[in-house]
C-alpha cells in the first residue's frame, strides 16, 4: 500500500465510528472522549474509548491517530500493564533482534497460531500477552548474571 493510499484510507476512517464491544470488566457501553480524560493530555491530542463508568471502572483503549477507530479492546489497569510488557518483548525483536517489524508480526502469528490480521497485542487477553512475552523473550541472548 502506498503512502497516498494509506492517507486516503485514514481520511475515510475518520468518517467512521467503530464502536468497541461493551466493557469486559462490567459490561457497560464504551464512550468516546478526549485522551486527556485518562491522563494523556501532554502526550498529544486524540481520542480514547472509555467504559461509560470510567473512572470507577478503569477500562479504556486509545484510537488510531486522527480517527475514532479503537487500537484494540478496552482494558483495565492490569491488562494494560501486561500488554505494555508484551509490546516491550515484541518491539525488542524487530528493533534489536535482527528482524523486521513485519517479520516479528509473522512470528507472533505463528507462535500464537493466529492469522496475522488477528495477531495484535492491543486485542489480546492476559494469557495471550504472557505467551507473547515468553515467545519473544526466548529470542533474546542469554545474559550472564551480575557480579
* Reported pTM: 0.78
Q: 12: closest CA among 54, 69, 61, 58?
A: 69
Q: Report which listed range, 15-19, 42-46, 125-129, is most confident.
A: 125-129
The residues spanned by each domain of the chain are 3-74, 78-137
Q: Per-residue pLDDT tens for 88-126?
A: 999 998 998 888 999 999 999 999 999 988 899 999 999
Average pLDDT, the chain: 84
| Lookup: cell for 110 | 505463528
pLDDT band of residue 139 (cuts 50, 70, 90) is: confident
pLDDT in the model for residue 36:
85
Indicate the angle between helix axes 101-112 and 77-95, nearest 10 degrees.
120
Q: 75: closest CA among 107, 51, 95?
A: 51
Please, are residues 68 and 55 in contact by the beta-carbon 8 Å criterion? no
> Percentage of residues in the chain with pLDDT exceeding 70?
80
pLDDT in the model for residue 38:
87
Residue reference for cell 494523556:
40
pLDDT in the model for residue 110:
93
Residue 22 has pLDDT above 80, yes or no: yes
Distances (CA, A) of 65 to 26, 69, 71, 89, 101: 27, 9, 9, 23, 19
Mean pLDDT on 129-137: 94
Residue 29 has pLDDT above 90, yes or no: yes
Amino acid at each position: 500500500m502506498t503512502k497516498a493510499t494509506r492517507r486516503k484510507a485514514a481520511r475515510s476512517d475518520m468518517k467512521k465510528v467503530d464502536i468497541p464491544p461493551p466493557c469486559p470488566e462490567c459490561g457497560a457501553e464504551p464512550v468516546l472522549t478526549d485522551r486527556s480524560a485518562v491522563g494523556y493530555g501532554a502526550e498529544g491530542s486524540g481520542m480514547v474509548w472509555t467504559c461509560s463508568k470510567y473512572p470507577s471502572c478503569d477500562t479504556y483503549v486509545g484510537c488510531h491517530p486522527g480517527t475514532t477507530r479503537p487500537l484494540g479492546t478496552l482494558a483495565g489497569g492490569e491488562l494494560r500493564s501486561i500488554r505494555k510488557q508484551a509490546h516491550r518483548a515484541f518491539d525488542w525483536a524487530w528493533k534489536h533482534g535482527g528482524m523486521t517489524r513485519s517479520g516479528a508480526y509473522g512470528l507472533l502469528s505463528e507462535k500464537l497460531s493466529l492469522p496475522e490480521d488477528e495477531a495484535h497485542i492491543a486485542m489480546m487477553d492476559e494469557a495471550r500477552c504472557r505467551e507473547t512475552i515468553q515467545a519473544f523473550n526466548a529470542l533474546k541472548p542469554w545474559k550472564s548474571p551480575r557480579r
